[in-house]
């Protein structure tokens, strides 16, 4: 039976650290504040916004939502993003996506100041992550993976890590973070030959492909640590969620595994709060 790597436990520790850091900033006259930019009212965006606001409130971070109509013009959207980015009271910006199809998301994101880009929405932030500049913020999900590995003291130096997925929001930035810890990383994708064999060779296997239960028993071996980043509708249980890993098939084989739900996703909002606090501190010239 594998050790279950609970994301909720990691998130609870991060939350306490975040609270203490907010108190330290407030003692020096700095109030961390997140600016949320939402176009329209997609149910998943509204739900996620509620989660962000609750976690920020619990941590002591202020939030302000700027909601634009779904059919907003590109010029108005860009003007709004630029104005929010320039406000002195806003420490960080979170931008809900995807946008309606008539809008150019890349052009709108370009107006976010890199120093306030806490989820790697801009090319400037992405560039800092890829060159190992710690003043840049990686996307929250890859950082959540690293927080879990750190919390459970899973060694990475010199270890073989297979990154299953190469997206700009998880696979690629997470690869850079892993390399920063001196892991030996193999990046796999849909065209990788002998994929199960490559995955079995890893000491740490990270699945982030967005395909429900893709990673079966033949992808893993005894002794591995498996991190499941995916969150999908469970094809076998109506109304339930599952990861990219077939948990029931894989868990009896490997040494440790994250659950879905209750794994990586549980940590991402705590990481977002951490990034907001770090941005507020950096903007004020304070070292936490």
CATH number of the domain within which 54 lies: 3.40.50.10860
pTM here is 0.95
Q: Which domain, by its residues, includes 41? A: 29-117
> Does a structural domain hold residue 281?
no
Q: Report the alpha-carbon distance of residue 169 to residue 192 in Å, rounded.
A: 20
In a domain, 122, yes or no: no
**Whether 188 and 257 share a structural domain:** yes
CATH of the domain at 196: 3.40.50.720
Backbone φ and ψ of 3, nearest 5°: -75, 130
Whether residues 113 and 151 share a domain: the answer is no
Average pLDDT, the chain: 96
Q: Do residue 102 and residue 144 come from a single domain?
A: no
What is the pLDDT averaged over residues 102-109? 96
| CA nearest neighbour of 94 among 102, 104, 84, 83 | 84
Question: pLDDT grade, residue 210 (50/70/90)?
Answer: very high
pLDDT for 181 equals 97
Tell me what the mean pLDDT of segment 151-156 comes to.
98
Mean pLDDT value of segment 184-208: 96
Per the structure, the count of domains in the chain is 2
What would the two tokens of residue 46 be? 């509204």
Q: What is the mean pLDDT of residues 100-129?
A: 95
- CA dist 63 and 52 (Å) reads 9
Instruction: Over range 159-177, report the average pLDDT.
Output: 96
Q: If we measure between CA atoms, which residue out of 158, 153, 152 comes closest to residue 178?
A: 158
CA 121, CA 110: separation in Å to the nearest integer? 8
Per-residue confidence at 199, pLDDT binned at 50, 70, 90? very high
Among 104, 92, 86, 73, CA closest to 35: 92
Contact assessment for residue 5 and residue 261, using Cβ atoms and an 8 Å cutoff: no
- The answer to whether residues 181 and 256 belong to one domain is yes
Q: Count of CB atoms within 10 A of residue 211's CB?
A: 14
Which pLDDT score, from 0 to 100, does residue 134 have?
A: 86
| Cα(42)–Cα(84) distance, integer angstroms | 21
Residue 190 binned pLDDT confidence (cut-offs 50, 70, 90): confident
Residue 1, pLDDT score: 86
- Residue 288: the pLDDT is 83
pLDDT at 81 over 90: yes
User: What are the residue ranges of helices labelled H in the chain?
Assistant: 7-27, 43-59, 74-86, 105-109, 123-130, 140-151, 171-180, 195-200, 247-250, 265-283
- Residue 128 forms part of a structural domain: no
* 96 and 154 part of one domain: no
171 and 245 belong to one structural domain: yes
Bridge partners of residue 65, in order along the sequence: 36
Q: Is residue 107 located within the same domain as residue 144?
A: no
Residues 16-41: tens digit of each pLDDT: 999 999 999 999 999 999 999 999 99
Does residue 224 belong to any structural domain of this protein? yes
Q: Residues 89, 199: one domain? A: no
Measure the CA–CA gap between 114 and 67, rounded to whole angstroms. 22
- Residue 54 inside a domain? The answer is yes
Assess whether 173 and 246 both reside in one domain.
yes
89 with 174, same domain: the answer is no
- pLDDT band (50, 70, 90) for residue 60: very high
For residue 68, what are the β-bridge partners?
Answer: 39
Give the C-alpha separation, 128 to 111, whole Å: 17
Asked whether residue 127 is domain-assigned, the answer is no
DSSP, res 100:
P
In a domain, 278, yes or no: no
For range 70-83, the mean pLDDT? 97
Instruction: Specify the 3-state DSSP secondary structure of 217.
Output: helix
> Quick check: is 154 in a domain?
yes
Quick one: 75 and 157 in the same domain? no
Q: Which tokens hold the place of 255?
A: 């040494």
Task: Tell whether 109 and 174 lie within a shared domain.
Answer: no
């Amino acid at each position: 039976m594998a050790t279950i790597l609970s994301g909720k436990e990691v998130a609870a520790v991060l939350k306490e650290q975040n609270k203490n850091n907010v108190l330290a900033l407030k003692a020096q006259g700095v109030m961390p504040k997140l600016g949320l930019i939402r176009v329209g009212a997609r149910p998943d965006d509204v739900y996620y916004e509620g989660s962000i606001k609750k976690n920020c409130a619990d941590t002591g971070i202020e939030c302000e939502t700027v909601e634009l109509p779904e059919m907003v013009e590109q010029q108005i959207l860009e003007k709004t993003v630029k104005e929010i980015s320039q406000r002195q009271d806003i420490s960080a910006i979170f931008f809900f996506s995807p946008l309606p199809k008539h809008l150019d998301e890349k052009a709108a994101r370009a107006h976010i100041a890199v120093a306030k880009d806490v989820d790697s929405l801009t090319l400037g932030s992405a560039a800092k992550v890829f060159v190992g500049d710690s003043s840049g913020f990686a996307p929250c999900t890859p950082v959540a993976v690293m927080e879990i590995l750190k919390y459970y003291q899973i060694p990475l130096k010199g270890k073989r890590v297979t990154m299953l997925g190469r997206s700009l929001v998880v696979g690629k930035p997470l690869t850079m973070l892993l390399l920063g810890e001196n892991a030996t990383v193999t990046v796999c994708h849909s065209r990788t030959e002998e994929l199960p064999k490559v995955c079995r060779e890893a000491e740490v296997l990270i699945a982030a492909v967005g395909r429900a239960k893709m990673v079966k028993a033949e992808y893993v071996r005894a002794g591995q640590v498996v991190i499941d980043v995916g969150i999908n509708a469970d094809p076998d249980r109506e109304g339930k969620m599952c990861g990219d890993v077939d948990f029931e098939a894989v868990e009896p084989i490997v040494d440790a595994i994250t659950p879905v739900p209750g794994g990586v996703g549980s940590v991402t909002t705590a990481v977002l709060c951490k990034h907001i606090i770090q941005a507020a501190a950096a903007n004020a010239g304070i070292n936490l």
